[in-house]
Amino acid sequence: LERKFILADAWGVLFWARTIAKVKYEIHYPLQDDENGIPFKHNINQRLDGRAIVAAKHMSMFEVAILVTHVPNYFFIIKRELLWIPIYGWAFKRIGLIGVNRKRGATNMHELAEKVTENIMKGMTLIIFPEGTRVTPNQRVKLKRGLLFLANSLKLPIMPVGVDTGLYWPKRGRTQPGTAQIYFEHELPSTATLDEINEAINRHSC
């Protein structure tokens, strides 16, 4: 019920974007190249079932809504304060989102990895924004190392996702009509470097 509530809200955002703001989107998947590829659908090429960490570029709430509606059994690591939002915070917690206290200082990564592992073992997929904040078009920021710790601890590959949503739904300012592009890249191993991940999520981004 809670996941349906969040899903309906995300579809509402996409409907508003398409009908009012005239902002659409297209999703691109890499070609499957071996028997270990993860088919997403019968005729596309990625299945997202918790066997990879989805590491996405973050430019607006638009890609959040897209990922929520296209990645089944997703969960995020979010700041703890979001769990206090009436109704939404309750739903976030119920569907497995993990809150961290950023004001307390450095996150206990071992404790966080244990919580993430619990969700992964339930077949859930972690979506993480390694930049740690929304960025503007052409902006490059240093990625957070927490992604590497989780990938190495859980021995999970990393599926980079590039976006150009900031061109149409900017961090600040008004939306602009157009078609945003979402690119699911080929998986990187759990031992990938921050530079490799950064290159992948920015390969098609503005």
Distance between CA atoms of residues 65 and 56, nearest Å = 12
Q: Are 168 and 23 in contact (CB under 8 A)?
A: yes
C-alpha distances (whole Å) from 114 to each of 15, 45, 132 are: 36, 30, 21
Contacts of 135 (CB under 8 A, 6+ apart): 57, 58, 59, 141, 166, 171
Q: What SS3 class is residue 64?
A: helix
> Over its length of 206 residues, how does the chain's per-residue pLDDT go in tens digits?
778 888 889 999 999 999 999 999 999 887 655 544 443 443 344 445 567 899 999 999 999 999 999 988 889 888 878 778 888 777 888 888 888 876 666 667 888 888 888 888 888 899 999 998 899 988 888 898 889 999 988 889 999 999 999 999 988 889 999 999 999 988 899 999 999 999 999 988 76
pTM of the model: 0.84
Give the CB-side neighbour count of residue 157, counting CA atoms within 13 A. Answer: 14
Distance between CA atoms of residues 56 and 9, nearest Å = 20
Which tokens belong to 133? Answer: 């904040």
